[in-house]
Amino acid sequence: MKKYILAFSFSIICLSAVAQSKIGTIDAEYILSQMPEMTTVNEGIQAYNQELQKELETDVTRYETLVKEYQANSTTFSEEDKKAKESEIIGLENNIKGFRQKAGVMMQMKRNELTQPLYEKINVAMLEVVNEENFTQIFHADGTSLAFSAEELDITRKVLKKLGVEVKE
């Protein structure tokens, strides 16, 4: 009998805990894409990309020049000069390869740097909605982890409204 009473009490406690929870979702990436500030962010990313491209082009041009000089004058170089030029060419080639590999990471870091203030604005607006409507949990609905959410529990549009962003359909 004690087991039944304990199980019944536990069930009531669980139900009351669930009844007190209010769970919602937010799609921060969608909000970010709708913010007018993203135009400035995209321009900043493009400018940074162009800087990286110029840097890469400078190294590639220097590499090509060194290779042409080496090919044209390799017969006149001493063994010591040949080895020095080859080392310089190989070093520059490795730098170019490394730069290309790091460029994607550098671009992502720049994007994060430029979007961080926007995410902070989204967070402030989200917290306002959460407090006004007494949500206990908010999940990110980024399309990779949330399988389903009822539309009435999605606070994305409410946060957009708090931010004063008009949705572009």
Residue-wise pLDDT for 122-167, tens only, equals: 999 999 999 999 988 888 887 666 656 677 778 888 898 889 888 8
Q: What percent of the chain has pLDDT over 90?
A: 55
Q: What is the residue range of 44's domain? A: 23-163
- Indicate whether 2 pLDDT > 60: no
What is the pLDDT at residue 75?
85
* 75 DSSP assignment: T
Q: Does pTM surpass 0.75?
A: no
Model confidence pLDDT, tens digit, residues 14-38? 445 555 788 888 999 999 999 999 9
Q: Work out the pLDDT band at 7, boundaries 50, 70, 90.
A: very low
Classify residue 167 by its DSSP letter: P
* 11 domain-assigned: no
**Residue 100 in domain:** yes
Domain-embedded: residue 2:
no
Residue 3 in domain: no
Cα 100 vs. chain centroid, distance in angstroms? 19
Tokens 């400078």 sit on residue: 58
Cα–Cα distance measured from residue 142 to residue 29, given in angstroms and rounded to the nearest whole number? 7
CA dihedral 119, 120, 123, 128 (to 10 degrees): -140
| CATH number of the domain bearing residue 142 | 3.30.910
Share of the chain above pLDDT 70, in %: 83
Between 63-67, 102-106, 138-142, 159-163, the lowest mean confidence (pLDDT) is in 138-142
**Structural domain total, the chain:** 1
> Per the domain annotation, does 131 fall within a domain?
yes
Tokens of 119: 């995410």
Average pLDDT, the chain: 85
DSSP letter for each residue of 5-45: HHHHHHHHHHHHHHHH--EEEE-HHHHHHH-TTHHHHHHHH
Predicted pLDDT at 6: 46
- Domain-embedded: residue 15: no
